[in-house]
Amino acid sequence: MSELKIYNTLTREKEIFKPLNAPHVGMYVCGPTLYSHAHLGNCRTFLSFDIVFRYLKHLDYKVRYVRNITDVGHLESDGDEGEDKIAKRARLEKLEPMEIVQLYAVDFHKVLDDFNLLPPSIEPTASGHIIEQIEMTKKIIENGLGYEVDGTIWFDVEKFAKTYPYTELSGRKLDEMLDGTRENLEGQEEKRGRLDFALWKKAKPEHIMRWPSPWGEGFPGWHIECSAMSSKYLGEQFDIHGGGMDLIPTHHTNEVAQNVACCKKSPAKTWMHTNMLTVNGQKMSKSLGNSFLPQQLFTGNHPLLERGYSAMVVRFFMLQAHYRSTLDFSNEALQASEKGFNRLMNALGLIPNLKTASKSSFNINELKENIYSALNDDFNTPVAIAYLFDGVKTINSINDGKEAITEDDKLVLHRLFHEIVLDVLGLKKEVSDIIDSKSPALIQTILDFRSEVKKDGNYSKADEIRKKLEGLGIQIKDSKDGPATYTITL
RNA sequence: GGUCGGGUGGCCGAGUGGUUAGGCUCAGCUCUGCAAAAGCUGCUACAGCGGUUCAAAUCCGCUCCCGACCUCCA
């Protein structure tokens, strides 16, 4: 069996994964800022890390997965006039900031549950860790890398960069970054350096969310929360830190700087970054107006959608691309995924009823190794799925009597498919609302009636029944001699 | 403008030196009362130009096109 390799943004290489304290693994992922609904692009990132979480657990690691919720401190910009995103939303909607957060937190969890994401081990909030953030800010000041200007604490990037690598993650050159920001100086006179960012912001009189600090009343900056919470729950150094690629140059770069400035240690050994979901080749984002809310996708209520798609189809669709590649969103691609998903799940359902033989006509271990080597290769789900479809073909052929399988191999196959498809990929058979406890008997009654009709030679009536059931998501499969069977396609 | 990444068959999407990726679509066949499902067969692509090599989608150079980041963004 191959070893798990993970692409590390820090080194730009795939590295063999060796936990700092095996079998324990610490993983921190930057969660959402709850000032609006999470769109599909956001979901993709959390789905990618759900696969990481699930696969590491499958490999018997004891994973502590921390994903924060930003409920304060995420500014519109790092400039002096930056306003807290949630505070702004609260002001506009005339609500308490915590009402905004609660509204979108409930929605966020509902959506991730629809997509069958496992909840993280800990989901800490920024507002619940004000003390930790203040303590960290104090240490950074003590170490000479933070300074106060009128109740606001800034991080001195240029001073930090003299001793430590500031641009390690982004791969940028500091000089060029400084050049690039020489303009737009208005409103930032407080800062010493153009790249300096706020650790703590002084609260203006009208600001609702405020806490006392050694520097007066204020609220924390955006980046400090992740530094404070990751080190609190995972220690000063842990295994994996993740997030969307767009966080690399600013948020993650500053996060590393804070940890180093505070504790002299870079927080994470491995940095994982997910790529963007695109629509017609462009990044899905709220500002471009091309974002999809999960609800719109489920119902099909969106100008770019022809109809709705289920959460599992969308999950499968996303897993057919690698997490470090962009993925383009389209009706056609979703339809393709829907059919593929149904084919995979139908094959999964066929396994228990396969007839066994004294000899297998294929090599089950080869299939197993192919699947695991794909997942071990930086969580390459599209390749793993390709191999699963090899398995699907084999399962269907056995079912047709064209291939054979032994009892032992059947157990291996059953376990393999269940563990990979259900546990690791997190896919599940979706049962439509029409299926309740009595439905199977009802459907069977209809099938029996139809076979009577067929026996009488009334094929047009039989076809009519078949067509009506198909409209309800029940697909009939006639067989030559035996009884007809059905599958649920919705 | 700067930095980085990418351009793969009708669509989505793997793949970094030599072997069929895979899914969907399309056409034909088998099966079927007819379908559906399933199986089989076919359609076999790598932006362009040049170079390295026995061998390149894969390495190097140039050109064209697209995207991300540089302001908040998963």
**Residue A80's pLDDT band (cuts 50, 70, 90):** very low
Looking at residue A76, what is its pLDDT? 61
What nucleotide is nearest A475 when CA is compared to C1'?
B36
CA A271 to chain centre: 15
pLDDT at site A435: 60
Rounded Cα–Cα distance for residues A292 and A300 (Å): 10
Check the CA dihedral A309-A284-A83-A155 and report its sign: positive
Superfamily of domain A7-274: HUPs (3.40.50.620)
Window A261-300, strand B contacts by Cβ < 7 Å: 274-278, 281-285, 287-288
Q: Show which positions of strand B are touched by protein (CB under 7 A).
A: 1-4, 10-15, 21-25, 31-40, 66-74
Give percent of chain A with pLDDT exceeding 90. Answer: 60
- The answer to whether the beta carbons of residues A211 and A97 sit under 8 Å apart is no
User: Which nucleotide's C1' atom has the smallest distance to the CA of A386?
Assistant: B22
For residue A122, the cross-strand partners are A66
Q: Which pLDDT tens digit goes with each residue over A209-227?
A: 899 999 999 999 989 999 9
A370 touches strand B (CB under 7 A): no
Distance (Å) from CA A373 to C1' B20? 19
Calpha distance A36→A107 (Å, rounded): 9
Q: pLDDT tens, A234-274?
A: 999 999 999 999 999 999 999 999 999 999 999 999 999 99
Task: Give nearest nucleotide to A274 (CA–C1').
Answer: B74
A370 CA, B18 C1': Å apart: 21
Distance CA A290, CA A299 (A): 17
A165 CA from B63 C1′ (Å): 36
* Contact criterion met (CB below 8 Å) for A89 and A399: no
User: How many angstroms separate the CA atoms of A64 and A54, rounded?
Assistant: 11
**Residues 107-166/A with CB < 7 A to strand B:** none
Domains of chain A by residue range = 7-274, 300-424, 439-488
**pLDDT attached to residue A185:** 47
Task: Tell me how far apart the alpha carbons of residues A210 and A204 are, in angstroms, rounded to a whole number.
Answer: 9
The answer to whether some atom of strand B lies closer than 7 Å to the beta carbon of A321 is yes
State whether the beta carbon of A23 lies below 7 angstroms from any atom of strand B. Answer: no
For residue A333, say whether its CB is under 7 Å from any atom of strand B. Answer: yes
User: Does any strand B atom come closer than 7 Å to the Cβ of A355?
Assistant: no
> Tokens representing A301?
């209520």
* Burial call A72-82: b when 16+ CB within 10 Å, e when fewer: bbbbeebbeeb
Q: Does any strand B atom come closer than 7 Å to the Cβ of A86? A: no
* Mean per-residue pLDDT over chain A, rounded: 89
Strand B proximal to A190 Cβ, under 7 A: no
pLDDT of residue A67: 96
Q: Is the pLDDT of residue A65 over 80?
A: yes
For A22-61, what is each residue's pLDDT tens digit? 899 999 999 998 888 899 999 999 999 999 999 999 999 9
- Which nucleotide is nearest, taking the CA of residue A470 and each C1'? B36
Residue A307 has pLDDT above 80, yes or no: yes
Q: What is the pLDDT of residue A31?
A: 93
Rounded Cα–Cα distance for residues A451 and A437 (Å)? 23
Q: How many CB atoms lie within 10 A of CB A160?
A: 24
pLDDT digits (tens, 9 = 90+) for A408-438: 999 999 999 999 999 999 999 876 555 666 7
Residue A374 CB neighbour total at 10 angstroms: 21
Q: What's the Å distance between residue A283 CA and nucleotide B69 C1'?
A: 12
Is the minimum distance from the CB of A332 to strand B below 7 Å? yes
Residue A329 confidence (pLDDT): 87
- Rounded distance between C-alpha atoms, residue A115 and residue A389, angstroms: 22
Quickly give A320 CA vs B18 C1' distance in Å: 27
Cα separation, A10 vs A31, whole angstroms:
20
Using a pLDDT cut of 70, give the percent of chain A over it.
Answer: 93
Decide: CB of A337 under 7 A of nucleic strand B: yes
Distance of C1' in B50 from CA in A247, Å: 39
CB-based contacts of A39: which residues, under 8 Å, 6+ apart? A284, A286, A291, A292, A293, A294
Residue A440's contacts (CB-CB under 8 Å, 6 or more residues apart) are none
Q: Which amino acid belongs to residue A356?
A: T
| Amino acid whose CA is nearest the C1' of B71 | A77
Per-residue pLDDT reduced to its tens digit, A92-113 = 788 888 888 899 999 999 999 9
* Nucleic chain B contacts, protein chain A, residues 380-409, CB cut-off 7 A: 380, 382-383, 385-386, 389-390, 392-393, 396-397, 399-400, 402
Dump pLDDT digits (tens) for A338-371.
999 999 999 999 999 899 999 999 999 999 999 9
